[in-house]
Amino acid sequence: MKTIGLVGGTGWISSAEYYRIINEETNRRAGGLTFSRCILFSINYGEIDVFNKLSNKEGVYRLILDATLKLAGSGAECIVLCANTLHQFYERVAQETDIPFIHIADAAAREIRRKNMSSVGLLGTKQTMEMDFYRSRLQERDIDVLIPELSDREFIQRTISDELLKGVFSDASRYRFVEICKELHGRGAEGIVLGCTEIPLLLKQEDINIPVINTLTIHAMAAVDFALND
């Protein structure tokens, strides 16, 4: 079994879900009292928030790089960035170590293709929805990506920052997310990528009859695949 390195704390609530899912799935496959070998480095999200407010992407990158290198030095054999948005730094961080990364958008793309979808809506932070680093990863696999209107993108960002990262999951926000998904479906999205690992904690498949791609679970499962693939 290989050791999984988790760059977490972005936020800690979804990181706890990664830890739970990875251990439960490892045990489901291996049986007995076998659980995951993993190391979690939890970043203080408040530091990322300060850098974001200053539009200091280099500062955020340095936090992610520092966490990655500490995991590598502690014996991690793969790196899992436990947030979709962090993958904007993937190429730069990956150059600093020989350890393989489990890319969340690649895992999502495989699931989208497995479900025979060619067009999806993308929900996430404004950076994930508006920047190219995530959408291009799906488009390279011939998957069209639709994003919500600006007012909805701003609502999603506020909800992530003000509620989800603090463990607040309200019915009102869930209803608005469902309406945004329906709008994207009406524009041609065959499914919805929950492209922020906090969103699946608010919006679940049973809340909506449009297929959703839960990137948190899919990413965690991909890490288990790697760890148990001898």
Q: Domain limits of the chain?
A: 4-103+218-228, 104-214
Report the helix count and the strand count for the chain, using DSSP H and E. Answer: 11, 7
Q: Tokens standing for 116? A: 């025979």
CA distance linking residue 41 with residue 110, whole number of Å: 27
**3.40.50.970, 3.40.50.1860, 3.40.50.150, 3.30.1370.60: CATH of 4-103+218-228:** 3.40.50.1860
pLDDT at position 159:
98
Task: Determine if the peptide bond prior to 11 is cis (ω within 30°).
Answer: yes
Question: How much is the pTM?
Answer: 0.94
Give Cβ neighbours of residue 199 (< 8 Å, ≥ 6 apart).
123, 124, 160, 164, 177
CA distance linking residue 226 with residue 222, whole number of Å: 6
Strand 78-81 with 119-123, pairing: unpaired
Asked whether this chain's domains 4-103+218-228 and 104-214 adopt the same fold, the reply is yes
Contact (CB, 8 A) for 78 and 5: yes
Contact (CB, 8 A) for 40 and 6: yes
pLDDT at position 16:
97
Q: Tokens standing for 2? A: 């290989």
- What CATH number labels 104-214? 3.40.50.1860
pLDDT averages per 10-residue partition of the chain, 230 residues: 96 96 98 97 96 96 97 97 96 94 97 96 97 95 97 98 96 98 98 97 96 98 93
CA distance linking residue 138 with residue 51, whole number of Å: 28
pLDDT at position 230:
62
Position of tokens 């608010």? 202
Nearest to 159 by CA among 183, 179, 141: 179
pLDDT at position 228:
97
